[in-house]
Structure 1
Amino acid sequence: MTDSTDCAFARLDETIDAISRKMPGSPREEIVLTRLHLHVQLQLASWFETTLKPFGLNESTWMALLLIYSRPDERLGPSDISAALSFSRTNATRVVDELEQHGLIRRQPSPQDRRKTELVLTPVGLELITRAMPVQRQRMREAWQDFSVEERALFEAMQRKLLARLAG
């Protein structure tokens, strides 16, 4: 984390403390955990976007591309992208349009149901994944290198527990 990032959260800490003094009984610990989680998420997204940008990608396009790639036949319905990545239909359409404009995927009628469209990975898309994946893997290792195996396992368990709680 950079000094400016530390400083940005320190200012948020000060704000939370000031509000807690004005409103006794505020759940300070829960507020800090929530704000810290959101702050880290933004920093993590920015961290990875720096390695995606040279490939003409962002987090949304990369994840959609990987989702299509992950299928055995490298094809997927547009609504599956929306559901799997928690995108609105509008955002999913924008991401798919962008991938198609760059020649990374193509739309084609479903062989099972002509009323449906499938998104199919192109050779250009496969080649881009092949080039970008080693860079992303290295970036992933760098992000988590200061954590032990046990800390990573605990962090994952805690994240999954929070996700389950928020999901209902």
Structure 2
Amino acid sequence: MVFSLSATELEATLGVLAVKMPSMNVQLVMLSRLVRLVNTTIQSELNERLRKHHLSESLWHALLAIYARPNHEILPSELSSILNLTRTSATRLSDVLVLNGWATRTTHPFDRRKITLKLTKAGENLIQLVSPETNEVRRRGWSALSEPEYEQLQQLLTKLLTAV
């Protein structure tokens, strides 16, 4: 991974800011920036791979959310909740999934007022095609960590997330 600003340069910049702003907690700013840089770097490569398949990150996560559900079906409201999107954004994603033939819309079998999204065979095939590429990007992105370090980082980030 290549950052536009090295960790050393970032530390130097933060050192200058710490002098000018004594109340700044440089360590917290540094940690926040490093987490963002790691995420941005991995996401950038993921998005590059996804674009080759005419996918955005949102579409990819929508496909995976549907794939993970029983019978590969989901209500748009559930998709909205899982992806933390507005219902309007989830509807737009659904439109693109249907337009590309990766999902179909059907009336819910028990409540005709609801629409169900169902993954098509083309959607399943796309997941099988793209998944190894996204897995490889993530594996390389986190390869500097040993298994115990990875587990520790996951626990720490989970702890932070529940505190925010």
Q: TM-score under structure 2 normalisation?
A: 0.90
Aligned partner of residue 120 in structure 1, secondary structure = strand
Q: 1:40 aligns with which of 21, 38, 45?
A: 38
The one-character-per-residue Cα deviations of 1:25-64 (angstroms, maximum 9, x if unpaired) are 2111111111222222221211211221211112111011
Could you list the runs of 5+ residues in structure 1 that have no partner in the other structure?
A: none
Indicate whether 1:76 and 2:74 are aligned: yes
State the partner residue of 1:99. Answer: 97
Equivalent-residue separation in structure 2 for 1:20 and 1:27 (angstroms): 8
Could you list the runs of 5+ residues in structure 2 that have no partner in the other structure?
A: none
Q: 2:147 aligns with which of 149, 155, 159?
A: 149
Alpha-carbon RMSD: 1.8
Q: 1:116 aligns with which of 108, 114, 124?
A: 114
Indicate whether 1:137 and 2:135 are aligned: yes
Q: Alignment identity in percent?
A: 34
Cα distance, 1:141 vs structure 2: 2.0
1:131/1:74 Cα in 2 relative to 1: closer, same or farther (>3 Å)? same
Q: TM-score under structure 1 normalisation?
A: 0.88
State the partner residue of 2:124. Answer: 126
1:97/1:10 Cα in 2 relative to 1: closer, same or farther (>3 Å)? farther
Q: Which has the higher contact order (CA 8 A, sep 6+)?
A: 2
